[in-house]
Every structure is written in C-alpha cells, then in structure tokens.
Amino acid sequence: MWENAFTDAPGYFDESSAREKQPLELHSIKELKQFLDWLHIKHCLLKPYFENEDYPVVEARELLPSFEIDLYEYKKLPGFSMVAFERPLNAFREIFQFDALHTLFDWQHADIDSEACLLESSVFAANLRTFQSRLPKRSHQDFLEEFGERDICGLESYDNLLKFLLQLERAHILSHDSAGHFSLAGIYASLPSNLDSELKQFGLKIGKFKPGDNFMYECNRLFVYQFLMELHGFPIVSERRTSASLFARRLQRMGERFMVRVLGQSDRTITTLYTRDDRKKTHQFPQVEKIALVAVNPKQTETIELLDDQGFLIDRQNNICILRVIYQQHQYSPKNVREDRALSVLRQEIIHPITGRVLDHLNIIQNAQNMIYRLNDIVRGELRGTITYKRREIIRNTDSHDKRLKFLYSWLSKHTHRLVDYSDEFYAQVVKVLDGYLLTPENWDIFNEHADLHKEVWNKYSQIQQSRKVRTLEELRQRVYKCEKISYLKMLELMTEILGELKYEIVNYFDRVVAKVLVIGDDVVSDSYLRKNYIDKKDENLTEYGRNVKKYYGRLVALLDEFKSIRKSRTTTMASQNLHHY
C-alpha cells in the first residue's frame, strides 16, 4: 500500500517525471514542507510499517507533552535530520559545516576567477563524488546505478535519493538555488548546539539561575534543561535531536525563514520545527509539529468507523492512522501552578494516505474518556503496556499491585497538567477511580507491604488535588470564576473559602504549591484599586458592599499569614533535619 501513498495529492510527482527531468519548482518553506511531508511519511513511516511485521507503532500518549524518554533505538528503522533555508546558501558565512552540492544555476551565476572548477567533467559528476564519499561503501554500486551522471540536486530526484539520504550520519540541506527554487544544497551537515551557553542563558532569563550561585544551578539545572528542550518538541534525548532543537532556536533568533526536521529511531516520529507564516513578535519560538503512525483506541468506535469509511486507516485490522500533532509553546512563569508546562497540543490532523486530505476535528490523543479507560485498566490490573518508572525501571504490565502503583505514579506524573486543567466532571471520574483503589479496605494489607510506593502515589494525587485549587485561585486573581467575570467581593469570598479548605489539606506539604498560594495572595492584597477604594477607607465611608469587601480582605490576609507560618515552620524543620543528618 505504501507505494501508492499520496498519488492523488496535489503537487505529487511520479517516477516518470523524474526520468524526464521535469523541474519541480518550489519557492516557499510552506510549499516545501507539504512536499516533504508526503515523501517522508511515505518512505520513513509507511514503508517501514508494511515491511516490518513487528513495527513499534507510536502510542498516542507518547505525543503528549511532557514527552517520554525512550533511549532504545530500532536500528532497522530509518532516521535522519534535515535543515531547509528559504534563501541560497552562503558557504563561508554559514554558522555550520557541510559538504556543498551545486545545481547548474549555481555554476552559471558563480563569480569564479579560476577556471579550475570549470574543468570538472561535469557539475553532476562532482555532486555524485561528494555524495558517494559520505555514503557507506555497501551502497556505492546501487547509488551509481541509480543516478549515473544524473542531477541529484533537483527536487524531482529527491524521492529516489531519499533511501540514500537515510544512510547518511549527518543532516542534509535544502535551500534556494540561484534561480530561487529549492534544491539539495548540501549533505553531512553538523548542526551546532552550544548547549551549555543556551542552558545557562535561558536559566538566567527565567530566574532559575543566578551568576555564581552553584547550589541554585545544581538544583534547577535539570528543570531548565527539560523545559528548554520541551519548548522545541523533545525530551532530553539523543545528540541528533538536541542539536536540531538548539539549532532551530538559534535560527529563529537570527530571523531566518527555515525548517528543521528530525526522525528519531527511538521515537519513530517525524518532528518539524519551522518559521511561522505570520512572524509576529510574540512568537519567540519556531512552530513545532510531529507526525507518526498511531493506533486509535479501539473504544473510540465512532471515530474508527468514520476513519474507516473515508479511507483514513492504513491498517483497518489494527486501526492505524497517520497523525500530525501541532503544538503551542508557553512562556515560563513562576506564578503559574503548572510551572513546568512548556508545550500543549494546539491541533490534531489525521492525514489520508492516498489523497493527503486532512481531518482536524477528531481527538485522538487527548480524549478524556480514553484517559479514564486507561486509569481503570491500571487499577484493575488489565493494562498491557510499557512505562519507565522514574526513568530507571521498565514496567511492562500491571499483574501485581506494586506494578500497578508504579504505573499509577507514572500515569499521574505524565498527566499532571491535564488533570489540573480538565473539567470538574472529568476530575470527579478520576477521583472515583483512584479513591476506589487507594482507599479500599481490601487493599490495606497489600499497601502496607508496599508502603513507600503507596505513599508516592498518594503524594502525587494530593499534589494534583492541591494544584487544582491553586489553578482556581489563579483564575480568581483575575476575577474570573468558571469563565465568568465576578465582583471583588465574590472573588474574596471564594478565595478565603478555598484557602480555608487548602489549609487542612497541606498535611501533605508541597512547598511549590504553598509558594504559588502566597504569590497569588500577595498579588490580590496588593491590588491598588482594591486598597484605594475599600481597604484604606474608614468603615463609615463605605457601603455595606464595601464593608463586606474589607471584612473578607482581612480574612484573606489572616489566612495568608497562616500559610506563611506553615511554610516558615516547615523550612525550619527541614533545615534542622538536614543539619542533624550532617
């Protein structure tokens, strides 16, 4: 089936056009991206899927931020990196190293003082020698038989050339030639990634590092590293993907129009970072999207019927589809309870394997009901899957309670942002499932045997419960409650009610949650309008509404003082414990 992929897609060319050397003229990154999407899906996803019976289809959750780390590489599967520029290359001025390839247009427009380069047997032959020098020897003969003395730089050759490009260790480059058309301009490119400098500059910018403060750096380095990488669509993984993300970040700052693309042999996902079309100043980061082969959850029966009826499934028996996910970046804010959220899903697109048509109204990876199904399967011991517990232990099933607890801990960690953000109705279902497992008397003896694991899960659960309350406080700070604008009095009433409840829940103490409470509370009590019109006035000069505002304001201040005392006592206790330890 893969051989016939995208045969009806606009702009597609077939082998006959390549043989006839009909030029394929693409000028913009948008046009190039669409063209490459089809070819890379066809050769790098569909072809391996149909040629490998045990192809490791990507699980939908793997496309949800924060991205899971999988360091196992499937050596039989393709992998590559690529960069494209919407301009001609300038070899001496570029900020990276590569082996240059040239089109006839380049040679015709070159300013050459010596005739030495012109004495080459042909431009095509020079390109072939350059490419062959970086190709594994086992492929030399096939390469020469395929191309002979043909042009390998034109995009009409890219389809046939791709199987050889996938064998190269480093990135290949596409850019404008002298005529303004995209062509293969270079191979064996090393994309520079000054990780140390980027990491430290970013950490200083968001306030997680301070110059010369080694302790602060050591405590926050992993957080900054993970946040920086996730902004560009990756976990902390291979050098190839690290280089791609940081190179794209650098190109974005330089104002380039570009596209960087990577396919990892571990994640089996085509990740693309590219310049946004609108180029607004608010867009500090390149657009991130991923394409992968994903199995639709069998319980999404209506979705499967629709995809099957319209021909979107590439494997009807296993419900496999081509899914593209577009992401949205979030700037770091220390006031946000979801402080480590760098990325969220903006849009999902299912791609038709023949026509290239897109469906963007279906929810494949974020379906809330799917999450409940999966949670139910975990606590019942019916889930068959693989997770990495705390990045050090691989768990492959839930056939024992210790494995279920580890799965639960990983599941709660993975979906923390979504559990904090989702509706009260959805969260009520989560609470019902978790309480039914963690609090049932039948499991007490078992949980006593795994007390540390049970405590870990319960602490993560408690942190999510508290974070949901803090998220509500964040909205109330803007005088918004359940998407409606409210008065100052209603805001203060609700804030004092929530803080009163939260005060008794911090038996399980989380300093980050308490710190957010204090930041939000201090913002409210420092509100200049509130103080000027209510708090600083005498009671006799206020209406009944104003006096109520002042009363609840005083309660809020008192509650915040209690939280500050709790935090201070906890800090003192922890400091004494650490001193005793030493």
- For 354, other C-beta atoms within 10 Å of its C-beta total 15
Residue 158 has pLDDT above 80, yes or no: yes
What is the phi-psi region of residue 180: left when phi exceeds 0, alpha when psi lies from -120 to 50, beta otherwise? left
**Region 528-534 average pLDDT:** 89
User: 156, 23 in Cβ contact below 8 A?
Assistant: yes
Nearest residue to 468 (alpha-carbon basis) of 515, 518, 502? 502
DSSP assignment letter at 239? H
At 239 the pLDDT is 81
**Region 353-376 average pLDDT:** 83
User: 192, 244 in Cβ contact below 8 A?
Assistant: no
At 321 the pLDDT is 94
Residue written as token pair 């095509």 = 124
Residue written as token pair 């050339």 = 161
Length of the chain: 582
At 279 the pLDDT is 57
- The single-letter code of the amino acid at 478 is Q
Residue written as token pair 């206020």 = 542
For residue 546 the two structure tokens come to 């104003």
At 64 the pLDDT is 85
pLDDT: which is higher, 202 or 333: 202
**If pLDDT is split at 50, 70 and 90, which confidence band does 575 have?**
low
At 25 the pLDDT is 78
pTM across the whole model: 0.75
Contacts of 439 (CB under 8 A, 6+ apart): none
Average pLDDT, the chain: 84
For residue 39 the two structure tokens come to 């070819």
DSSP states of 148-208: TT--SSBGGGHHHHHHHHTT-SSEEEEEE-TTS-EEEEEEEEE----HHHHHHHHHHHTTS
**If pLDDT is split at 50, 70 and 90, which confidence band does 278 have?**
low
pLDDT in tens, 450-508: 999 999 999 999 989 988 898 899 889 889 988 889 999 999 999 999 999 888 888 78
User: 100, 90 in Cβ contact below 8 A?
Assistant: no
Could you give the angle at which helices 451-477 and 511-525 cross, rounded to 10 degrees? 10
**If pLDDT is split at 50, 70 and 90, which confidence band does 352 have?**
very high
Q: What CA–CA distance (Å, rounded) separates 483 from 488? A: 15
- The single-letter code of the amino acid at 151 is D
Nearest residue to 355 (alpha-carbon basis) of 128, 41, 141? 41
At 22 the pLDDT is 58
Q: What CA–CA distance (Å, rounded) separates 325 from 327? A: 6
Residue 283 has pLDDT above 50, yes or no: yes
Residue 134 has pLDDT above 80, yes or no: yes
At 118 the pLDDT is 46
pLDDT: which is higher, 133 or 384: 133
Residue 282 has pLDDT above 80, yes or no: no
Residue 313 has pLDDT above 90, yes or no: yes
**Region 347-374 average pLDDT:** 85
Q: What CA–CA distance (Å, rounded) separates 506 from 492? A: 21
**Region 511-528 average pLDDT:** 89
Residue written as token pair 């999510």 = 464
- Adjacent-strand bridge partners of 65: none
At 295 the pLDDT is 92
| Lowest-confidence segment of 46-50, 250-254, 281-285, 521-525 by average pLDDT | 281-285
Residue 111 has pLDDT above 80, yes or no: no
CA separation (Å) from 47 to 53, 55, 272, 333?
11, 10, 20, 43
* Cα Rg, the chain, nearest whole Å: 28
- The single-letter code of the amino acid at 231 is L
Residue 231 has pLDDT above 80, yes or no: yes
User: 105, 177 in Cβ contact below 8 A?
Assistant: yes
Q: What CA–CA distance (Å, rounded) separates 206 from 331? A: 9
Strands 171-176 and 80-88, by their bridges, are: parallel
Residue 114 has pLDDT above 50, yes or no: no
Percent of the chain with pLDDT over 70: 89
Residue 2 has pLDDT above 80, yes or no: no
Residue 519 has pLDDT above 80, yes or no: yes
Q: What CA–CA distance (Å, rounded) separates 489 from 495? A: 10
At 16 the pLDDT is 42
Residue 122 has pLDDT above 70, yes or no: yes
* 508 Cα distance to chain centroid: 30
**C-alpha dihedral sign at 338, 342, 346, 352:** negative
pLDDT in tens, 66-107: 887 776 788 899 999 999 999 999 888 989 899 888 886 655
| Lowest-confidence segment of 47-56, 131-140, 215-224, 390-399 by average pLDDT | 390-399
Q: What CA–CA distance (Å, rounded) separates 11 from 5? A: 13
